[in-house]
């Protein structure tokens, strides 16, 4: 049984801890990450306030994917579901912050066989004192995390990393990068300090007001053997899970965006009158609202299924995440664009908040795989399953 919690988040009735966590997250974001704060950050040319991120970490956001033995712990027993709730609420104010880059790095560190060797880094990430990002995408290439062109060559002192990554979120704000690289015939991940000799970070233009990205060039960057994360045999599985977590969190945030935009558009249509009637009373608009509501609930359902599958580490988790990323990525832009049209001329002005939401859903459509990328992935998985039947 469930009840409607703060800001529309569904929380279990029998779990006061879940309700408190959701309420605290909602109150924190409303007070310290409102749309006004986002506009102020943009005006200042800042992505996020490091002290703000440390306060967010104190709420437990960064500990949800870390096992208790390393100082972490989830609220409900399912860290992915708890983190998805946070992401959904972030979407309601298109809040700033490196939730995804830090979460994907922590997922890789906490799941690998040598997790205790990275306990110090994990602890620093959990406090928010250190920001890290996942360097996985590459210039001019689509979503292919297991096919990197960046290379890691063994040398006497460890490894020499050569190549380039791009679309690295919070790259310029990060102290560490978790870099996916090819090492001989294997795929490996390495923790690379951003101030290491040979690392060059170049900011990239972003459609979003506060989400900042960077291209990172690695010119014969030397790292120690201890920089490796995970064994050669487990790295592909780690990368796959990190990808799933990033995808479902983005879908959850987009669901929060869609619900918020839909709600205030419905209210606008009820309040706005023409020829003595509310806009919402016109049949054509009713049909449009019905379509958008159906698409919104389908986005919510596919995202919830993916969050459940990834949280349970189901064998079907990758397929579920791709289904959600494909559907949400395809429909979110249509829903928000429909809401812009409902508002008329005011909907396309800088002063109206609609463009803040539209910018983020447009950006997210291309991050961690486009709908087209995931459609191909689903087809490949179905073809593989068919061969085994």
Q: What is the mean pLDDT of residues 122-136?
A: 98
pLDDT 10s digits, 207-237: 999 999 999 999 999 999 999 999 999 999 9
Return the pLDDT at 221. Answer: 97
Q: What is the mean pLDDT of residues 4-31?
A: 73
The architecture that CATH gives domain 235-388 is: Up-down Bundle (1.20)
Residue 268 reports pLDDT greater than 80: yes
Residue 314 reports pLDDT greater than 70: yes
Q: Choose the weakest-confidence range: 293-307, 310-324, 340-354.
A: 340-354
The CATH number of 16-127 is 1.10.540.10
228 and 189 Cβ atoms separated by less than 8 Å? yes
Return the pLDDT at 270. Answer: 83
Sign of CA dihedral 67, 73, 77, 79: negative
The answer as to CATH 1.10.150.120 being correct for domain 132-231 is: no
Residue 4 reports pLDDT greater than 70: no
Residue 14 reports pLDDT greater than 60: no
Residue with tokens 């620093």, as numbered in its chain: 124
Confidence of residue 5 (pLDDT cuts 50, 70, 90): very low
pLDDT 10s digits, 195-207: 999 999 999 999 9
Q: What is the mean pLDDT of residues 96-109?
A: 97
Confidence of residue 11 (pLDDT cuts 50, 70, 90): very low
Same CATH fold assignment for domains 16-127 and 235-388: no
Q: What is the mean pLDDT of residues 267-286?
A: 81
Distances (CA, A) of 26 to 96, 112, 214, 349, 360: 14, 32, 30, 28, 20
Domain borders along the chain are: 16-127, 132-231, 235-388
Q: What is the mean pLDDT of residues 242-262?
A: 97
Percent pLDDT > 90 in the chain is 83
Contacts of 269 (CB under 8 A, 6+ apart): 278, 279, 280, 285, 289, 342
Confidence of residue 49 (pLDDT cuts 50, 70, 90): very high
Indicate the pTM of the whole model: 0.93
82 and 17 Cβ atoms separated by less than 8 Å? no
**Rounded distance between C-alpha atoms, residue 255 and residue 265, angstroms:** 15
Return the pLDDT at 3. Answer: 40
Q: What is the mean pLDDT of residues 128-152?
A: 96
Confidence of residue 273 (pLDDT cuts 50, 70, 90): confident
């Amino acid at each position: 049984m469930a009840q409607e919690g703060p800001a529309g988040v569904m929380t279990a009735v029998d779990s006061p801890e879940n309700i408190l966590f959701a309420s605290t997250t909602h109150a924190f974001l409303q007070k310290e990450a409102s749309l006004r704060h986002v506009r102020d950050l943009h005006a200042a040319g800042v992505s996020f306030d490091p002290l703000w991120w440390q306060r967010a970490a104190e709420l437990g956001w960064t500990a949800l994917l870390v096992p208790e033995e390393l100082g972490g712990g989830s609220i409900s027993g399912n860290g992915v579901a708890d983190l998805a709730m946070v992401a959904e609420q972030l979407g309601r104010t298109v809040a700033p912050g490196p939730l995804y880059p830090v979460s994907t790095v922590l997922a890789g560190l906490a799941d690998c066989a040598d997790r205790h060797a990275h306990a110090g880094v994990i602890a620093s990430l959990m406090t928010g004192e250190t920001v890290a990002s996942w360097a996985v995408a590459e210039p001019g290439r689509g979503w292919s995390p297991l096919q990197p062109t960046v290379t890691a060559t063994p040398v006497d002192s460890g490894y020499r990393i050569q190549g380039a990554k791009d679309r690295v979120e919070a790259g310029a704000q990060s102290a560490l990068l978790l870099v996916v690289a090819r090492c001989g015939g294997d795929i490996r991940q390495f923790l690379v300090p951003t101030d290491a000799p040979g690392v060059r970070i170049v900011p990239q233009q972003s459609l979003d007001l506060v989400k900042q990205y960077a291209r990172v060039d690695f010119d014969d960057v030397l790292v120690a053997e201890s920089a490796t994360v995970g064994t050669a045999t487990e790295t592909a599985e780690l990368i796959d899970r990190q990808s799933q977590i990033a995808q479902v969190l983005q879908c959850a945030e987009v669901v929060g965006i869609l619900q918020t935009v839909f709600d205030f558009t419905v209210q606008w249509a009820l309040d706005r009158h023409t020829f003595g009637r509310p806009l919402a009373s016109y049949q054509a608009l009713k049909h449009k609202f019905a379509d958008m509501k159906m698409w919104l609930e389908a986005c919510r359902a596919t995202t919830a299924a993916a969050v459940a599958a990834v949280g349970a580490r189901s064998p079907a988790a990758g397929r579920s995440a791709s289904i959600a990323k494909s559907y949400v990525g395809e429909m979110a832009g249509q829903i928000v664009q429909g809401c812009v049209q409902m508002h008329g001329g005011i909907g396309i002005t800088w002063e109206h908040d609609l463009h803040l939401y539209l910018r983020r859903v447009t950006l997210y459509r291309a991050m961690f795989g486009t709908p087209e990328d995931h459609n191909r992935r689903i087809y490949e998985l179905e073809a593989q399953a068919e061969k085994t039947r």
